Structure 1
Amino acid sequence: MNKRLLTTITVIVAFLAVAFIVTSQPTSKKNATSYVPTVGILQLVTHPALDQIHKGVVDGLKSEGYSGKKIKIDYQNAQADQSNLKTMSQKFANENADLTIGIATPAALSLAKTADGNTPVILAGITDPAGSGLVKTTKRPGRNITGVSGDSPLQQHLNVIKQVVPKAKTLGIIYTTSDHGGEYNAKNMEKIAKNAGYNVKMYTISTTNDMQQIAETMASQVDVVYAPQDNGVASAMKTLINVTNQDKIPVIPAVDTMVKDGGIATMSVSQYNIGYQAGIMAGKVLKGKSTATYSVKTITEGDMTINLKQAKLLGLTLPKSMVHEAETKGEVFK
C-alpha cells in the first residue's frame, strides 16, 4: 500500500469518526429555530369566565409569536372531574409538553403535582396561589410555577351591595367546599361584611347538584346574596338565579359573566385579560425566562358591570352614577 493511498484512507477514517461524534451529540430541540413547542392547557370546567380566560391565553401566546404552525396547543377540559384532571395532566407529561397552563386552581394543582418541579406550569385565574401551595411567594415563586392571579376587589363588591340594596341587613354568601379560591374569597368577604355591620350567613355546596336545595334555604333567610369568584357557583349560576328570583332576592356576583347569567351588578376583573397576561407569561417562559424569579402578576382592577333587565325584574332602581359608570367604562346587559 503506497503512502498516498494510506494517507487518503487515514483522512477518510478520521472524517467519519468526527462525523459520528458530531451527529451523536444531543441537540437542544428547544433552541432550534424550526422547533415547534407543545403547550398543554388544562381547564377545570366549562363556564363563561373560564372560557374567557382560555381565549385570553391563546391570544396572549399569539402576541408572543406562538400561533398557527409555530405552536402545538393541546387543550383539555376536565368538566369538574378530579379523575379527568389527573389523567389529562399525565397526558401532557407523556407527550413531553414544553409547558402547561392551568385554568382554575384545581387544574393548576393537578399540573403542578404531575410536573413535580420540572416542566414549567403557568397559572391562569388562580386565587391565592401562595395559600394554595402552588408558589412560595408571589414575588419569587421558586422552581417551575408562576402565572396570573385574579384577586376579587372584595371591598368594591361590598360597596356595590350597599348601593344596590341599601336597606339589606342579612347577607348570604355561598361557595364550593372543594374550591380553594372560592372559599378564600367567601371567608374574606365574610370578615369585611361583618366589620361593615352585616349579619352574614354562610352556605356551601359540594357540587353543582347541591345548588337547588341550598339556594332555596338561603333565599328564605337573607336579604341579598354574594356569589364569589368560585367555579362551582359560577357553573350553577343560572340555577341560583332561578331560585332567588322567586323570592326577589338580588345576587351580587364577583365577575361580569355571572352578571350576564342573572346577577345584578359587580366590579369585575376582566377574565380575558387574566388569560391574556398568562399567555404572555407563557410565551416569555418558552423563550427562556425563568419561572423561579418571574413574579406572579396579580390583577385587581375592575370595571362596573350591570344587568338592567335583571334589576327591572326584581323591581330595583340602580343608582344613576352606577349606570353611568357601566355605560362609559364597563358593560351593560339589557
Structure 2
Amino acid sequence: MKNLPWMTLGAVALAASAVATAADQKSVAVTAIVEHPALDAVRDGVQAALKAEGFEQGKNLKWQYQSAQGNTGTAAQIARKFVGDKPDAIVAIATPSAQAVVAATKTVPVVFSAVTDPVAAKLVPSWEPSKNNVTGVSDLLALDKQIDLIRQVVPEAKRVGMVYNPGEANSVVVVKELKELLPKYGMTLVEASAPRSVDVGSAARSLIGKADVIYTNTDNNVVSAYEALVKVGQEAKLPLVASDTDSVKRGAIAALGINYRDLGEQTGRMVARILKGEKPGDIKPEVSTKMELFVNPGAAEKQGVKLSDALIKSAAEVVQ
C-alpha cells in the first residue's frame, strides 16, 4: 500500500478527532413555563452545576433553552420539539412545563425542577424512584412555617387572601392544604382566581375588604405579574406575604422561601448523574431543604404594617 500524503493523514486524524468529540458531546434541552426571577435562577443554577460537573456549553455540551411565555399550548409545542431532538436529558422548570414534557415522552430522560408536588401533578407515581424516565427536584414548602410568617407580619390577621391560577396543579395543592391548616390557627382562606397573568391585578382588587393579608405561593402567573399585586397592596394597605424570596425585592413585605439558584444547582447535579450514565428512574425525587427569610421594611410601611425588630434581625436578607 502506498504511503498516504501527510495532508491526507492529517485530514484523517482531524476527522477521527471530530467523530470522537461528537461522541463525547452531551445535549441538554431546558424549558420553563415563563421567565421570572425565580425560574431564571433555576435555569442558571442548572447550567452552573453542569459546568462544575464537567459539562460546558460550547465544549462538550449542547445546551438549548426555550420559555413558553406563560402559554400551556406553547409549552406542549416546545415539549414535542425537544423530544424530537432526542437530547440526553430534558429539564422542565415549573409544573406546567414538566407536565407537557412528561406527556410527550416515555423514553427521553426528564428532570423536573421547581415543582411543588410532583405526585399530585402526576409526574411521578410517588416520592420513591419512579422506575421510568422521570425524576427531579421539588420546591415543596412546609405551610405551617408560612402561616407562622403571616402571623408575624400581620399578628391580627384572620382572613388570608390568596391569588392563584386554578389551572396550575401546585397552586391547587397549596390551596387545599391551607384550607385544612388555617382553621387550626383561627384563620380562613379567601380565594381569588387569576387564570392568566393579566388577571392578577383584578383578582387582588377583589380581595379588598375581604382579606386582612394576601399570601402568594410560587404560582407562575402571579409571580410573573407581581408588580400588579404590589400596586393593590400599597393602594389598599393590604399586606403581601410571599413564598418566593425574589418577590420581596419587587415589593412583598416578607418571604420564607427556597433559594432558587441553589435549587437549580441541585437539579443540575441530578442531570449530571444522568449524563454520566445513571437512569432517571433509579434516582429518587428530591426536595430542597435550604430556606431563607427575606424582609422588606419599606414595603411593610407602604402596606400599612411595621415589622418587629426580631423578625428583621432573623432575616437572611433585608431589602432596602
Please say if residues 64 and 283 of structure 1, whose CA atoms lie closer than 8 Å, have aligned partners that are also in contact. yes
In structure 2, give the amino acid aligned to 1:197: G
Please say if residues 182 and 231 of structure 1, whose CA atoms lie closer than 8 Å, have aligned partners that are also in contact. no
Please say if residues 60 and 280 of structure 1, whose CA atoms lie closer than 8 Å, have aligned partners that are also in contact. yes
- Corresponding position: 1:213 with 2:199: no
Q: How big is each residue's C-alpha offset from its partner over 1:241-295, in whole Å with a ceiling of 9 and x where there is no partner?
A: 1012111010111110111211111211111111111111001101111111200
Distance in 2 between the 1:93 and 1:280 partners? 21
**Structure 1 range deviating more: 210-219 or 244-253:** 210-219
Indicate how the Cα distance of structure 1 residues 217 and 315 shifts in structure 2: closer, same or farther if over 3 A, else same: closer
Identity among equivalent pairs (%): 28
In structure 1, give the amino acid aligned to 2:319: F
Q: Secondary structure at the match of 2:121?
A: coil
Equivalent in the alignment of 2:241: 252
Shift of 1:237: 1.1
Shift of 1:304: 1.1
Match of 2:63 among 54, 68, 73: 73
Distance in 2 between the 1:236 and 1:93 partners? 30
Q: Secondary structure at the match of 1:266?
A: strand
Distance in 1 between the 2:167 and 2:55 partners? 34
CA RMSD of aligned residues (A): 1.9
Equivalent in the alignment of 1:113: 103
Indicate how the Cα distance of structure 1 residues 31 and 114 shifts in structure 2: closer, same or farther if over 3 A, else same: farther
Please say if residues 64 and 284 of structure 1, whose CA atoms lie closer than 8 Å, have aligned partners that are also in contact. no
Distance in 2 between the 1:129 and 1:196 partners? 28
- Corresponding position: 1:266 with 2:252: no
Please say if residues 265 and 307 of structure 1, whose CA atoms lie closer than 8 Å, have aligned partners that are also in contact. yes
Match of 1:95 among 85, 92, 109: 85
Equivalent in the alignment of 1:332: 318
Distance in 2 between the 1:150 and 1:299 partners? 6
**Structure 1 range deviating more: 307-316 or 74-83:** 307-316
Equivalent in the alignment of 1:19: none
Please say if residues 213 and 241 of structure 2, whose CA atoms lie closer than 8 Å, have aligned partners that are also in contact. yes
Equivalent in the alignment of 1:178: 167
- Corresponding position: 1:160 with 2:160: no
In structure 1, give the amino acid aligned to 2:229: L
Shift of 1:81: 1.3
Please say if residues 174 and 186 of structure 1, whose CA atoms lie closer than 8 Å, have aligned partners that are also in contact. no
Please say if residues 238 and 304 of structure 2, whose CA atoms lie closer than 8 Å, have aligned partners that are also in contact. no
Q: Secondary structure at the match of 1:295?
A: coil
Please say if residues 229 and 255 of structure 1, whose CA atoms lie closer than 8 Å, have aligned partners that are also in contact. yes
Shift of 1:34: 4.6
Distance in 1 between the 2:107 and 2:290 partners? 33
In structure 1, give the amino acid aligned to 2:79: S
Equivalent in the alignment of 1:133: 122
Q: How big is each residue's C-alpha offset from its partner over 1:178-213, in whole Å with a ceiling of 9 and x where there is no partner?
A: 111112122212321122111321221111121222
Shift of 1:152: 1.7
Q: Secondary structure at the match of 1:267?
A: strand
4+ residue segments displaced more than 4 Å? 30-34
Distance in 2 between the 1:59 and 1:114 partners? 27
Please say if residues 153 and 301 of structure 1, whose CA atoms lie closer than 8 Å, have aligned partners that are also in contact. no
Q: Secondary structure at the match of 2:233?
A: helix
TM-score by length of 1: 0.86
Please say if residues 171 and 225 of structure 1, whose CA atoms lie closer than 8 Å, have aligned partners that are also in contact. yes
In structure 1, give the amino acid aligned to 2:70: A
Please say if residues 153 and 302 of structure 1, whose CA atoms lie closer than 8 Å, have aligned partners that are also in contact. no
Distance in 1 between the 2:311 and 2:298 partners? 15
Match of 1:48 among 37, 41, 53: 37
Distance in 2 between the 1:72 and 1:84 partners? 22
Shift of 1:220: 2.5
Please say if residues 172 and 202 of structure 1, whose CA atoms lie closer than 8 Å, have aligned partners that are also in contact. yes
Distance in 2 between the 1:226 and 1:280 partners? 32
Please say if residues 179 and 188 of structure 2, whose CA atoms lie closer than 8 Å, have aligned partners that are also in contact. no
In structure 1, give the amino acid aligned to 2:317: E
- Corresponding position: 1:303 with 2:292: yes
Equivalent in the alignment of 1:290: 279
Distance in 2 between the 1:92 and 1:299 partners? 26
Distance in 1 between the 2:254 and 2:231 partners? 17
Q: Secondary structure at the match of 1:218?
A: coil
Shift of 1:83: 2.2
Equivalent in the alignment of 1:187: 176
In structure 2, give the amino acid aligned to 1:99: A
